[in-house]
A and B are shown apart, each in its own frame.
Chain A
Amino acid sequence: MLSQFAYRKAGSVQEAIELSSRPGARILAGGSDLLGCLRDGVFSADRIVSISGLKELKGVAATAGGGMRIGALATLAEIAGHPRLRQAYPALAQAAAAAASPQLRNQGTIGGNLCQRPRCWYFRGDFPCARKGGDTCYAIAGENQLHCIFGGEGCYMVHPSDTAPALLALDAKVRIQGRKGARTIPLASFFVLPSVDPRRENALAPGELLTEILLDPPEPGARGLYRKVRERGAFDFALVGAAIVLAISEGTVKKARVALSGVAPVPWRSEEAEAALAGKKLDQQAIAAAAAAAVKDAEPLSGNGYKIPLVRGMVEDALSALAG
Chain B
Amino acid sequence: MNPKPWGDTAVVGKPVSRIDAYERLSGAAIYSLDVLLPDMLHAAILRCPHAHAIVKKVDASAALAMPGVRAVLTDADQEARIPWHPDAQGKPVSRLFDPHCRCEGEEVAAVAAETPQQAADALRRIRVEYETRPFVIEMEAAHRAGATQVHDGGNYVYPPGTGDTERGDVAKGFAEADVVLEETYRTSCEIHTTMEVHGSVAKWDGKRLTVWNTTQGVFDDQAALAAALKMPLSDVRVIGHYMGGGFGSKLNLGKYTVIAALFARKTGRPVKLFLSREETFLSVGNRPAHTMKLKAGVRKDGTLTALELNGIGTVGAYTDWTTVGYQVADLYLCPNVRVKELQVYTHAGQSRPFRAPGFPQCSWALEQMMDALAEKIGMDPVEFRLKNIAAVSQAEENKPYTSTGFAECLREGARVFGWRQARERKKGDGAWVRGAGMAGGMWGYAGGPPSTAIVRLYADGSVNLNIGASDLGTGTKTVMAMVVAEELGVPLDRIQIESADTATTQYTGASGGSKTVMVDSPAVRAAALEVKAALVQMAAGQLQAAASGLSLVNGEIVSADSPDKRVKVQDLKTLKEQQVVVGVGRRGPNPAGKVIRPFAAQFAEVEVNTRTGEMRVLRMAAAHDSGRVMNRLTYENQVFGGMTMGIGLAMTEQRILDRETGKMVNANWHDYKIPTMKDAPADMTCVAIDPHDHECDTTSTKGLGEPAMVPTAAAVANAFYHATGVRMTSAPITPAEAIAALSKRRKG
Verify if B244 is at the interface (C-beta below 8 Å from A): no
- Bound-state CA distance A305–B739 (Å) is 10
- On chain B, the residues within 8 Å of A316 by CB distance are 611
- Bound-state CA distance A317–B614 (Å) is 12
Residue of chain B at shortest CB distance from A314:
B612
- Bound-state CA distance A3–B123 (Å) is 12
Residue of chain B at shortest CB distance from A237:
B670
- On chain B, the residues within 8 Å of A232 by CB distance are 651-652, 673, 675-676, 678-679
Contact with A along B421-460 (1 / 0, CB 8 A): 0000000000100000000000000000000000000000
Q: Which of B431, B610, B735 contacts A239 (CB 8 A)?
A: B735
In the complex, what's the smallest C-beta–C-beta distance from B206 to chain A, in angstroms? 33
In the complex, what's the smallest C-beta–C-beta distance from B256 to chain A, in angstroms? 16
A236 contacts B670, C-beta separation under 8 Å: yes
Q: Which of B121, B657, B660, B734 contacts A138 (CB 8 A)?
A: B660
- Bound-state CA distance A3–B124 (Å) is 10
A234 contacts B663, C-beta separation under 8 Å: no
- Bound-state CA distance A5–B679 (Å) is 39
In the complex, what's the smallest C-beta–C-beta distance from B51 to chain A, in angstroms? 12
Verify if A231 is at the interface (C-beta below 8 Å from B): yes
B660 contacts A141, C-beta separation under 8 Å: yes
Contact with B along A294-310 (1 / 0, CB 8 A): 00000000001111011
- On chain A, the residues within 8 Å of B657 by CB distance are 143
B117 contacts A121, C-beta separation under 8 Å: no
B612 contacts A313, C-beta separation under 8 Å: yes
- On chain A, the residues within 8 Å of B131 by CB distance are none
A121 contacts B665, C-beta separation under 8 Å: yes
In the complex where A1-B117, A126-B663, A232-B679 touch, is A143 in contact with B736 (Cβ < 8 A)? Answer: no
B746 contacts A1, C-beta separation under 8 Å: no
- Bound-state CA distance A320–B736 (Å) is 21
Q: Which of A127, A231, A305 contacts B740 (CB 8 A)?
A: A305
B116 contacts A309, C-beta separation under 8 Å: no
- On chain B, the residues within 8 Å of A309 by CB distance are 739-740, 742-743, 746
- Bound-state CA distance A223–B413 (Å) is 46
- On chain A, the residues within 8 Å of B431 by CB distance are 313, 317, 320
Verify if B149 is at the interface (C-beta below 8 Å from A): no
- Bound-state CA distance A4–B678 (Å) is 37
How many residue-residue contacts, CB under 8 A, span A and B? Answer: 107
Verify if A119 is at the interface (C-beta below 8 Å from B): yes
B611 contacts A314, C-beta separation under 8 Å: yes
- On chain A, the residues within 8 Å of B673 by CB distance are 231-232, 236
- Bound-state CA distance A51–B660 (Å) is 41
In the complex, what's the smallest C-beta–C-beta distance from A120 to chain B, in angstroms? 9
B609 contacts A317, C-beta separation under 8 Å: yes
B739 contacts A313, C-beta separation under 8 Å: yes
Contact with A along B594-618 (1 / 0, CB 8 A): 0000000000000001111110000
- Bound-state CA distance A239–B612 (Å) is 11
- On chain A, the residues within 8 Å of B120 by CB distance are 1
Q: Which of A121, A306, A310, A313 contacts B671 (CB 8 A)?
A: A121
B116 contacts A229, C-beta separation under 8 Å: no
- On chain B, the residues within 8 Å of A126 by CB distance are 49, 663
In the complex, what's the smallest C-beta–C-beta distance from B258 to chain A, in angstroms? 22
Verify if B184 is at the interface (C-beta below 8 Å from A): no
- On chain B, the residues within 8 Å of A141 by CB distance are 659-660
Verify if B34 is at the interface (C-beta below 8 Å from A): no
- Bound-state CA distance A237–B652 (Å) is 14
In the complex, what's the smallest C-beta–C-beta distance from A233 to chain B, in angstroms? 3
Residue of chain A at shortest CB distance from B732:
A231
- On chain A, the residues within 8 Å of B663 by CB distance are 125-127
In the complex, what's the smallest C-beta–C-beta distance from B188 to chain A, in angstroms? 13
In the complex where A121-B665, A309-B746 touch, is A143 in contact with B658 (Cβ < 8 A)? Answer: yes
- Bound-state CA distance A141–B117 (Å) is 36
- Bound-state CA distance A20–B668 (Å) is 30
Residue of chain A at shortest CB distance from B656:
A143
- On chain B, the residues within 8 Å of A138 by CB distance are 658, 660-661
- On chain B, the residues within 8 Å of A229 by CB distance are 612, 614, 735
Residue of chain B at shortest CB distance from A100:
B670
- On chain A, the residues within 8 Å of B739 by CB distance are 306, 309-310, 313
In the complex, what's the smallest C-beta–C-beta distance from B286 to chain A, in angstroms? 17
- On chain A, the residues within 8 Å of B736 by CB distance are 145, 231, 239, 304, 306-307, 310
B734 contacts A235, C-beta separation under 8 Å: no
In the complex, what's the smallest C-beta–C-beta distance from A43 to chain B, in angstroms? 14
- Give the 7 A-B CB pairs with smallest separation, nearest first: A233-B678, A313-B611, A309-B743, A1-B120, A121-B665, A306-B740, A234-B676
A interface residue numbers (CB < 8 A to B): 1-4, 40, 119, 121-122, 124-127, 138, 141-143, 145, 229-237, 239, 304-307, 309-310, 313-314, 316-317, 320
Chosen A-B contacts, 7 in total, with CB atoms closer than 8 Å, are: A1-B116, A119-B670, A121-B656, A141-B660, A143-B665, A229-B614, A313-B611
